[in-house]
Chains A and B, each alone.
Chain A
Amino acid sequence: MDLTLKIWRQKNATDRGGILTYKVTGVSPDSSFFEMLDMLNQQLIEGNQEPVAFDHDCREGICGTCSLFINGRPHGPKRGITTCQLHMRSFSNGDTIYIEPWRARAFPVIKDLIVDRGAFDKIIQAGGYVSVNTGGIPDANAIPVPKFNAERSMDAAACIGCGACVASCANASAMLFVSAKIAQFDYLPQGKVETTRRVQAMVQAMDALGFGNCSNMYACEAECPKEISIANIALMNRNFLKAKVCAEKEG
């Protein structure tokens, strides 16, 4: 396959950046999207040019590091996969492919296609955990967890924190991410006890970091590589309301 690539190049965080055009030839339809980019980078290195910087790690869809906005969609044209799981057979010979970084005020570009997703870590630090006391090992079956809850919790916990929800959202809202991180604990008795505090702290952190407000367009759900449901956002909203309206004030 022969392809034309239009890639966002930006030297560093303060550089203005712009789209540059590259050609790659002889790409196998069986190769992955990243192998195609590796080919391009090899070409650039041999031509004494700076290779394109992009994030990747596991290359098997579990770490959430990869983050490319391909032809107007995060993680490319296919549903339910990450960029590292995308293969060139999803494109045709002669295609022009636009590759851009995630765009959001809360995700500043560091270089080329790499953005700083530290904002997600700050939200997690605000409350995305379960407080555990040290001591003897508790009996695994001491606290009953209904199967339905266990499954819903696991579905939410599938979120790999890649940021595709923010990238696809017209408002650059992080609500799908935050709600998944709240729901994974809220469905379990061990996590539920802290929901009131957690939901307020995490929403406050999310707002302070400059993410937009959800306007219920659901692009996030359509683009999420782990197909996290927007029902989690409703769960977060009602827990937030409960915390603000029904819960007793602590301290």
Chain B
Amino acid sequence: MNNRLLKFASIGKKVTMGLAGLFLILFLLVHLGINLTLIRNDEGEWFRAASGFMGSNYLVKVFEIVLGAALLLHMILGVILWFENRMSRPVRYFRTNRSDTSFLSKYMFHTGVVIAVFLVIHFINFYFVKLGIVDPPPGVDTHDFYTMARLLFTNPVYSAIYIVALILMGFHLNHSFQSAFQTLGLNHNRYYTLIKRMALVYAVVVAAGFILIPVFYLIKY
């Protein structure tokens, strides 16, 4: 047992976590693409079509299982690594570390927890409704995600929570993007600057893209 655990080395765990993370990074782009149809002035025609496709296509169903597995793996490994890392310094410094590190990298675990909490809310609002675990809001059909989204985004409290969570997710994404490439060993002078720039662009586009939607709804309604 001990031997087996040892074989799954630190780098093995990190690489698995990074790969799962990269998969989630790709998925977020798809999710963003679908959500952006919400700001089309078509009473949800495109959004209904897109979410209908996502809910019925068999390929997407397989993809959904892989996605869930990647998410779980990413979270479980994140927690394991965090505990191991805390254990590796049982006596802490009197004067806390002032080393020059990127501010965000220190809070990956914390922003990760915020995202996990937000995901629970998100699942209760949408995914669990689809699965039939949670009832949809009164008067709304189980498959009418457009109306559910519109109800939520016109609620200023929900929108505020949504925006804060998404900003924190942007921070998480910015560090994680370049972190994944470093862990996979793809970081050297050929890629270094490129990856850093791509990380920033990706994080800003995804966070700003998602935030655009509640802002749009709050202004419009």
Contacts and interface: CB of A to CB of B under 8 A. Distances in A.
B35 interface: no
Contact of A237 (B92, B99, B185): B185
Interface string B31-69: 000000000000000000000000000000000000000
A207 B95 contact: no
A185 interface: no
A81 to B, nearest CB: 14
Contacts of A8: 94
A171 B99 CA distance: 13
Contacts of B99: 72-74, 168, 219, 222-223
A171 B185 contact: no
B88 A215 contact: no
Contact of B101 (A218, A235, A237): A218
Interface stretch (B102-110, B150-158, B208-216): B102-110
A105 B90 contact: yes
Contacts of A19: 94
Contacts of B192: 231
A33 interface: no
A177 to B, nearest CB: 14
A98 interface: yes
A69 interface: yes
Contacts of B84: 212-213
A187 to B, nearest CB: 12
Given A219-B100, A231-B187, A234-B182, A213 B95 contact: no
Interface residues of A, number: 49
B89 A72 contact: no
Interface string A36-77: 000000000000000000000000000000000101111000
B85 A72 contact: no
A105 B105 contact: no
Interface in A71-119: 71-74, 98, 100, 103-106, 109
Interface string A165-193: 00010111100000000000000000000
A211 B178 CA distance: 23
Interface string A195-214: 00000000110111011111
Nearest to B188: A231
Interface string A129-170: 000000000000000000000000000000000000000101
Nearest to B90: A105
A241 interface: yes
Given A215-B179, A216-B175, A219-B99, A234 B89 contact: no
Contact of A215 (B11, B87, B92, B105): B105
Given A73-B99, A203-B9, A216 B89 contact: no
10 contacts: A69-B93, A100-B93, A204-B9, A207-B9, A212-B89, A213-B81, A215-B105, A216-B178, A219-B97, A231-B189
Interface of B: 6, 9-15, 81, 84-85, 87-102, 105-106, 108, 175, 178-179, 182-189, 192
